[in-house]
C-alpha cells in the first residue's frame, strides 16, 4: 500500500485578549506569527474572538456590539490578517465578531497565503442575544495538501458536528475556544478560578498552573477532546484564551492531538504561549476512527435528524448552567 508522505508543521496559540482593543490584540498575533515562521510553521491558529475580545460581549448594548463588529472579508482586521498571511506565506486562523447584512456572528477566519479566506460562523452561538448561530460547516483545502475544517468552541461539544466535518473530508480540525474556568453546574468539572491566583502567577506559578492542569482546565478537556480526534481519525488543533476574560479566568491548555487522540504538544503555562507539532499524514491511514466512519450504517441514523422535543437554544442552555 502506498505511504502518505505529506507533513505539515502547525502551531496552536493560547493568548489573553484585551476587550475591544483590536490593535493590541493584532500586534500580539503578529508577534506570534513571526515567531512561528522562524520555526518553520505553515499553519498557525489563534483562539475564538481573539481579535475583538470575548466574554465581555454578553453585556454590550446593540450599539456597542455594532461598533465592535467588523465585516468579513472587507473589514480592517480581516484585511490585516490577509496581508499578514500573504507577507509570510503562511495560513493563519483568528476569531472576531462579524457584522453581516444587519446581523452579527461569532466568526473564525482562516487566511491563506494566496490572499483567499475561509470563514466559519459558530453553529452554537450564545454570547449575545443579537449574535446569530451559523448554518454551514466549513471544510477546505490548505495549500500544503491537507484538508481542514473549523468548529468553534461549543460546536465541538456537540459531537455530531465533528463527525460531519470529518465526513466532508477534514483531516485537520481547527478548534478555537474560550473555555476552562467557566461557571458550571457540573459538580466534578469546570468552575471559576480565583483571579488572585492569576494576578500572583509570577510569584507563585504553581498554584494557578495546578488549576490549569486540573478539572477546571486540562482535566475537563481530556474527558472529551481526545475522543473527537480519535473517533473521527483527524488531527486536532486546540487553541484557547488564557488569563483574564471579563469575570472568568481562561485556562489556556493549547494542545495539538493526532488521529489516535494522543497529545503531540501542549502547555499548561499561565502565560501567552505557542505549541508546535509536525503532522504526519501517514498516521491517518490506519486511524481507528477512519475505520469506524467506514463502518457507519446511515440507514439507521434517521432519528438523529428528527426533533425530539429535547432540543433547546444554546444560549438558554449556557446561561442556565
Taking only the tens place, the pLDDT of each residue in 34-65 is: 999 999 999 999 999 999 999 999 999 999 99
pLDDT of residue 1: 53
Q: Where are the domains of the chain?
A: 7-320
Q: Where are the beta strands (DSSP E) in the chain?
A: 7-15, 43-45, 91-100, 103-111, 117-121, 131-132, 138-141, 147-150, 172-176, 235-245, 248-251, 255-257, 263-266, 273-280
Per-residue confidence (pLDDT) for residue 321, from 0 to 100: 59
Q: Show the low-confidence residues of the chain (pLDDT under 50).
A: none
Q: Please answer whether residues 296 and 58 qualify as being in contact, where contact means their C-beta atoms are separated by less than 8 angstroms.
A: no
Q: What is the CATH number of domain 7-320?
A: 3.60.110.10
Can you tell me the distance from the alpha carbon of 41 to that of 135, in angstroms, rounded to the nearest whole number?
Answer: 31
The three three-digit cell numbers of residue 20, written as one number:
475591544
Spatial distance between the Cα atoms of 250 and 252, rounded to a whole number of angstroms: 6
Check residue 274 and give its pLDDT. Answer: 99
pLDDT of residue 319: 80
pLDDT at 16: 99
- Side-chain-side CA neighbours of residue 126 (13 Å): 16
The structure's pTM equals 0.97
- Residue 242 CA to residue 227 CA, distance in Å, equals 23
User: Residue 161: enclosing H or E segment and its boundaries?
Assistant: helix 159-167
pLDDT in tens, 91-120: 999 999 999 989 999 999 999 999 999 999
CB 94 within 8 A of CB 141: no
DSSP tag of 285: T
- Asked if 239 and 14 count as a contact pair (C-beta separation under 8 A), the reply is yes
Amino acid at each position: 500500500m502506498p505511504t502518505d508522505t505529506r507533513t505539515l508543521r502547525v502551531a496552536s496559540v493560547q493568548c489573553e485578549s484585551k476587550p475591544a482593543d483590536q490593535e493590541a490584540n493584532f500586534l500580539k498575533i503578529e508577534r506570534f506569527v513571526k515567531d512561528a515562521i522562524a520555526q518553520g510553521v505553515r499553519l498557525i491558529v489563534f483562539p475564538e474572538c481573539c481579535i475583538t475580545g470575548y466574554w465581555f460581549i454578553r453585556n454590550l448594548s446593540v450599539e456597542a456590539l455594532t461598533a465592535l463588529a467588523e465585516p468579513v472579508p472587507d473589514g480592517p482586521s480581516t484585511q490585516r490578517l490577509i496581508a499578514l498571511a500573504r507577507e509570510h506565506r503562511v495560513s493563519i486562523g483568528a476569531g472576531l465578531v462579524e457584522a453581516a447584512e444587519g446581523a452579527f456572528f461569532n466568526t473564525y477566519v482562516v487566511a491563506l497565503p494566496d490572499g483567499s479566506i475561509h470563514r466559519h460562523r459558530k453553529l452554537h452561538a450564545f454570547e449575545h442575544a443579537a449574535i446569530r448561530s451559523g448554518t454551514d460547516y466549513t471544510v477546505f483545502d490548505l495549500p500544503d495538501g491537507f484538508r481542514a475544517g473549523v468548529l468553534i468552541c461549543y460546536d465541538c461539544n456537540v459531537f455530531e458536528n465533528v463527525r460531519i466535518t470529518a465526513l466532508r473530508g477534514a483531516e485537520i480540525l481547527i478548534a478555537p475556544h474560550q473555555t476552562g474556568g467557566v461557571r458550571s453546574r457540573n459538580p466534578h468539572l469546570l468552575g471559576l478560578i480565583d483571579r488572585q491566583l492569576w494576578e500572583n502567577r509570577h510569584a507563585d506559578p504553581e498554584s494557578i498552573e495546578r488549576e490549569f492542569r486540573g478539572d477546571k482546565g486540562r482535566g475537563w478537556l481530556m474527558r472529551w477532546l481526545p475522543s473527537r480526534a480519535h473517533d473521527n481519525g483527524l488531527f486536532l488543533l486546540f487553541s484557547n484564551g488564557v488569563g483574564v476574560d471579563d469575570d472568568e479566568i481562561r485556562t489556556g491548555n493549547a494542545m495539538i492531538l493526532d488521529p489516535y487522540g494522543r497529545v503531540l504538544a501542549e502547555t499548561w503555562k499561565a502565560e501567552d504561549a505557542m505549541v508546535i507539532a509536525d503532522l504526519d499524514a501517514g498516521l491517518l491511514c490506519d486511524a481507528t476512527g477512519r475505520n469506524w466512519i467506514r463502518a457507519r450504517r446511515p440507514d439507521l441514523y434517521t432519528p438523529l435528524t428528527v426533533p425530539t422535543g429535547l432540543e433547546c437554544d444554546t444560549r438558554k442552555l449556557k446561561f442556565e448552567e
